[in-house]
Structure 1
Amino acid sequence: MIKYFTFGISISFISWIVGMIFNNILMKTEYYEKISNLNFIKNRKLNKTIGINQFKWIVKNTFFKFFNQKIKLENKNTDLIEIRKEMTIAEISHLIGFVFVTIIAIYMSVTKNYLYGPSIMIVNIIMNLYPSLLQQENKRRLDILIKRQAKTVANSK
């Protein structure tokens, strides 16, 4: 059973690279704009129920905080539009990675052992789906700041 989780961790790390590669390809298509505003869970209470806040704490307080340094609000002069773009890249890359690992999990369940897939999917949810859901929540919060900033700029003119 441990080897299933170990394989899940390994393939999830690999899926991050696969996600980035396919995301770069997808960015050049007309469909990217459509999928850049995905919103799977709109309800903040449901996000809290499934543990997104705890996941956010883990990302902020462990080595994961060093992974994507482009997604940081440093000060009030930070370009919010650029940060949102980077969040979208991370979100879609993780979703692509999630689909990639899901396909592998199904294959491994069918060809190797039926416990292989669920073990891999537990790791996949934590390492790909939750980061994507966190980015969606962060983008919703950031959109509020962007609108507020736009109103401030418009009122100052």
Structure 2
Amino acid sequence: MIRYITLSISLTFISWIIGMVVNAFLNETAFYQKHLTNLNFVKSTKLNKLIGIGVIKWIVKNTFFKFFNPNLKMKRKIELTELEHLRKEMTFAEINHLIAFIAVAFFAIVKVFNGYFLLALILMVVNILMNLYPSLLQQENKRRIDKLKKLFKTF
């Protein structure tokens, strides 16, 4: 079981690289700009709280994960252009995680067909925690940035 957990964590880290590479190619397409920049799977703040996005947010802010993407920090004094840049960076991180989630999910499905049910289950749990939840967190942050952008435009 420990071997499966270690393998799952390793594969998830590798999936981040896959997500970045695939996203680098997708980023330049019209499909990306039209369909992927405004994904919103969980619109309700209450539901986000219920599924534990706040816990993931705390982990990202207070552990070594905060060093992984320093571009996602907001400065004290902000301008509209900075908000737009930050939103773009968040979208990029969100899509990276979604692509990584799909890659690991595909691997887990293959493992189910090969009869490795426990490995597939552990893979998906780790995948949800390390890929899906960060993507949902980015979506929540983008909604917050959109509210700030609206506020800036009213002044």
| TM-score range for the pair, normalised by the shorter chain length | over 0.9
**What is the TM-score when the length of structure 2 is the normalising length?**
0.95
Any idea what SS the aligned residue of 1:40 has? Answer: coil
| CA distance in 2: counterparts of 1:87 and 1:138, whole angstroms | 8
Mapping of residues 1-157 of structure 1, within 5 Å: 1-33=1-33, 34-78=35-79, 79-152=82-155
Give the aligned CA root-mean-square deviation in angstroms: 1.0
| CA distance in 1: counterparts of 2:117 and 2:85, whole angstroms | 43
| CA distance in 1: counterparts of 2:74 and 2:139, whole angstroms | 16
| CA distance in 1: counterparts of 2:51 and 2:78, whole angstroms | 33
How far 1:54 sits from its partner (Å)? 1.1
| CA deviation string 1:14-56 (max 9, x = no partner) | 0000000000111111110211100000011100000001110
| CA deviation string 1:88-109 (max 9, x = no partner) | 0000000000000000111122
Structure 1, unpaired ranges of 5+: 153-157
| CA distance in 1: counterparts of 2:4 and 2:144, whole angstroms | 36
Identity of aligned residues (%): 55
Q: Which amino acid aligns with 1:64?
A: F
| CA distance in 2: counterparts of 1:150 and 1:127, whole angstroms | 35
Work out the number of aligned pairs and report it: 152
| CA deviation string 1:59-83 (max 9, x = no partner) | 1111111111001111223500000
How far 1:112 sits from its partner (Å)? 4.7
| CA distance in 1: counterparts of 2:37 and 2:60, whole angstroms | 22
